[in-house]
Structure 1
Amino acid sequence: MAKIKLTKNELKKKKDALKMYQRYLPTLQLKKQQLQVEVRSVQTRLEQLLARKATLEKEYDPWIAVFSEQEKARKSNGEPLLRIVSVRTDEGNIAGVTIPVFQDIEFERSVYDLYAAPVWIDSALTLMEQLLRTQMELEIVTRQRELLAHELRITTQRVNLFEKVKIPETIADIRKIRIYLGDQQTAQVVRGKIAKRKVEGAGR
C-alpha cells in the first residue's frame, strides 16, 4: 500500500474521495441488482428456447431421413425448397448494456409442383421454419446472456472493490491522519507551554 502524506491537504483529499465512493456505491449496487434480475430472466428464456428446440427436433426426426435425400429437399433444378431471406434484429439497453434483440426471421418457399411433391412437404417445411426460428432466437438470447453476465461480473468486482477495499482503506487513512495531526497539535501546545514557562522563568 502506498505511503500516505500526513497533512491537512491529504486529509481533505481522503475525505473527498470517501464522499465520492459512498455516493457512487449505491448506484453500483443498484446496477448489480438490475443485472442479476435480467440475467435470471434471460436464463429463463434461454431454457424455454432450449426446451422448445428439443421438442421440435424430436418432431423433426421422422423427416430427417427424407430430407437428407437431395431430390426431396430441393426442386428438380436444384433450388432449395426453403431458404432464409432475412433475420430482423434490434438493439436493446439493459442497465447500460447494449444487447441484440431478436424480432423475426423471414423465409421464402420455392414454388413447387403440388402434384409431384409429397403430401407431407408443407408440414415438414413449416416445422423446419419453426426450428430455424427457434435456433436463431436461441443464438441471440445466448449472446444477451453473455453480454449481461460479463457486465455483471465487472459491476460485482467494482462493488467489492468499493465495499471491501477503497472505503475501508480510506476510512483507515483518514483516522491515521487525524490521529497524527491531533498528536502534532497536542505536541505544539505542550511546546508552547514549555516555551512560555521558560520565558516567564527568565523574567524573574
Structure 2
Amino acid sequence: MAAIKFTKQELKAQRDALARFTRFLPTLILKKQQLQAEIRRLSLALVEKRKALAAVEEGAANWLALFAEPFDMIPYMRVESLQVRQANVAGVSVEVLDEVAFIQTLPPLAPLAASPLWVDQGLETARRLAVLQLEIHFLHRQRQAVAEELRTTSQRVNLFEKVKIPEAKEHIRRIKIALGDLETAAVVRAKMAKGRQKERRRSTS
C-alpha cells in the first residue's frame, strides 16, 4: 500500500480519488459487457461462415473430380479489389470486409465458351470459397482486436474493484483514525494545560 500523509488535505485527496474511481467503474463494467457481447456475436458469425464454407465445399465434392480435365482457373480467380472499411465495434476500431471484386477481363486465349462445361459452376464455387475464406479471416481479426480490448478493460475493472477502490477506502479509514487520535490528543493536552493553569492560580492565591 502506498505511503500516505495523515492530513486533512490528504483525506480530501483520497475522498476525491474514491469518488472518481466509483464514478468511472460503472462505465468500465458497461464497456466490458459490450465487448463480451461483441465477442459472442463475432464467434457466432465465425461459426456460421465456417458452416457455409463447409457446405460449399461439400456441395462441390460431386464435381471436384472433373478438375482432372485440364483447365487453368487461376486467371479467373485473381482479386481485383477488396472494399474494406474501418468500423467502430464497442469502441474498438476494426476492419470490415464489404466486397470482393474479381478481375472480369478474361484471358483472350481461354474464353469461357471454349472451356469445359463444369467451369462456370466451378468458377462460381471457387470464388464463393475465396470470399468465405476472406470473410472468416476478417472476422477472426475483428474478434482478436475485440478480445485484446476486453483483456485490457477486464484488467482495469479488476484494478478498480480489487485495488484502487479498496485502497482508497482503507486510506480514508486510516487517515480519519489518525486525525481523530490527533484531535483527541489535542483535547487532552488542552484540558491538561487548563488544569495546570488552575493549579498555578490556586498556588499563587
State TM-score, norm by structure 1. Answer: 0.91
Judge conservation of contact 1:86–1:105 (CA < 8 Å) in 2.
Answer: yes
Q: Among residues 154, 164, 167, which one is paired with 1:166 in the alignment?
A: 164
The answer for the alignment partner of 1:73 in structure 2 is 72
Unaligned runs of 5+ in 1: none
What is the deviation of 1:62?
4.7
AA matched with 1:96: G
Aligned residues: 199
Superposition map of 1:6-155 within 5 A? 6-64=6-64, 66-67=66-67, 71-74=70-73, 80-109=75-104, 110=106, 112-155=110-153
**CA 1:43–1:114 in structure 2 vs 1: closer, same or farther (change >3 Å)?**
closer
Question: Any stretches of 5+ residues in structure 2 without a counterpart?
Answer: none
Q: Secondary structure at the match of 2:4?
A: coil
8 Å CA contact 1:66, 1:72 repeated in 2: no
Following superposition, the deviation at residue 63 of structure 1 comes to 4.9
Give the CA RMSD over aligned residues.
Answer: 1.7
Determine if contact 1:90/1:103 at 8 Å carries over to the other structure: yes
Matched residue SS, 2:103:
strand
Distance across 2 between alignment mates of 1:186 and 1:114: 98
- Shift of residue 67, structure 1, vs aligned partner: 3.9
| TM-score, normalised with respect to structure 2 | 0.91
**Do residues 198 (structure 1) and 196 (structure 2) align?**
yes
In structure 1, distance between residues paired with 2:135 and 2:111? 32
- C-alpha separation in 2, matches of 1:12 and 1:95: 35
- The answer to whether 1:187 aligns with 2:159 is no
Identity %: 44
Provide the secondary structure at the position in 2 that maps to 1:73: coil
